[in-house]
């Protein structure tokens, strides 16, 4: 992407380097051959970040980085933006009547988590290694084709061919719930019927999996009292997001910005 093809991003007199927008553009999708779309999305995102940082500095806020994972902390910029929004954006908690009305609109939306009894055969590889990835897929395809003919051989093949420690138990992973495995693996579980084996190998960050769903316990519809806390949290988050968006729009309306479009939507 040639940065010179795009206008400078200037926020309240501060010129943002093209390299900053170009780096952000890597996080935004665009149709093939249309890099300008990704650039515009990135310019808008960087403009918002710049506006918030300018306001945080104007208010003389001090960054206090929070821990976001084991041994990992926010950057000073992330901490400043979080501190600014915590200071400037506030919402009231929904009343119990509002929460109950949200639940009553469609109680079937609120269910206990499902549980899956799962087995798999893993052909391990680093997906970033093209050669290793191709070899693992070839192995997985051979195993998958064998299982289409003789699905009862799953346990035996897991014991002889799987690269996972679960091979000693015939590939059995035991009982899993949402969040217990990597997202790309869990996505398959959501649509796999009891007793079924994935028709094609499934790629995850660990390699290619052939997955068998041994048993499914679908989540049960929750009564209001059981669902109330989750609904309250979701409503508070939605209200906060709306208020934060409004706050950003207020800053944008009072700002001088070129190279980005932060018109109210």
Domain boundaries along the sequence of the chain = 3-92+231-258, 115-217
Burial class from Cβ neighbours inside 10 Å (0-12, 13-18, 19+) for residue 111 reads middle
Residue pair 232/93 in contact by the 8 Å Cβ criterion: yes
Reported pTM: 0.64
Paired tokens of 178: 């949402």
**pLDDT per position as a tens digit, 76-95:** 999 999 999 999 999 999 99
Q: Percent of the chain beyond pLDDT 90?
A: 84
The three-state secondary structure class of 9 is strand
Q: What is the pLDDT of residue 265?
A: 45
Residue pair 47/249 in contact by the 8 Å Cβ criterion: no
Residue pair 57/81 in contact by the 8 Å Cβ criterion: no
Q: What is the CATH number of domain 115-217?
A: 3.10.50.40
Residue pair 28/46 in contact by the 8 Å Cβ criterion: no
Q: What is the pLDDT of residue 36?
A: 79
Residue pair 68/74 in contact by the 8 Å Cβ criterion: yes
Helices (H), the chain: 18-25, 35-58, 76-88, 96-105, 130-149, 154-161, 183-189, 224-253
**pLDDT per position as a tens digit, 133-181:** 999 999 999 999 999 999 999 999 999 999 999 999 999 999 999 999 9
Q: Return the ∠ at Cα 206 (arms to 205 and 212), rounded to 5°.
A: 110
- For all residues of the chain together, what is the average pLDDT? 93
The three-state secondary structure class of 190 is coil
Q: How many residues does the chain have?
A: 265
């Amino acid at each position: 992407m040639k940065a010179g093809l795009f206008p400078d991003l200037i926020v309240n007199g501060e010129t943002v380097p093209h390299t900053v927008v170009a780096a952000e553009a890597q996080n935004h999708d665009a149709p093939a051959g249309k890099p300008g779309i990704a650039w515009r999305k990135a310019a808008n995102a960087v403009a918002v970040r710049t506006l918030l940082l300018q306001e945080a500095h104007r208010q003389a806020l001090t960054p206090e980085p929070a821990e976001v994972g084991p041994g990992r902390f926010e950057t000073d910029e992330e901490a400043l933006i979080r501190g600014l929004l915590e200071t400037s954006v506030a919402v009231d908690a929904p009343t119990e009547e509002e929460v109950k009305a949200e639940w009553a609109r469609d109680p079937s939306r609120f269910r206990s988590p499902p549980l899956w009894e799962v087995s798999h055969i893993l052909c391990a590889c680093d997906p970033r290694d093209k050669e290793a990835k191709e070899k693992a897929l070839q192995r997985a395809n051979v195993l998958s084709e064998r299982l289409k003919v003789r699905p009862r051989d799953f346990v035996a093949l897991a014991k002889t061919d799987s690269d996972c420690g679960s091979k000693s138990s015939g590939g059995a992973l035991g009982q899993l719930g949402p969040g217990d495995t990597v997202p790309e693996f869990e996505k398959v579980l959501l649509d796999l019927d009891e007793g079924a084996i994935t028709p094609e190998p499934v790629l995850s960050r660990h390699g290619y999996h052939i997955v068998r769903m041994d048993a499914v316990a679908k989540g049960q519809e929750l009564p209001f009292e059981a669902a109330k806390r989750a609904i309250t949290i979701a409503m508070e988050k939605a209200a906060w997001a709306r208020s934060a968006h409004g706050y950003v729009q207020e800053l944008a309306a009072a700002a001088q910005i070129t190279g980005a479009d932060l018109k109210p939507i």
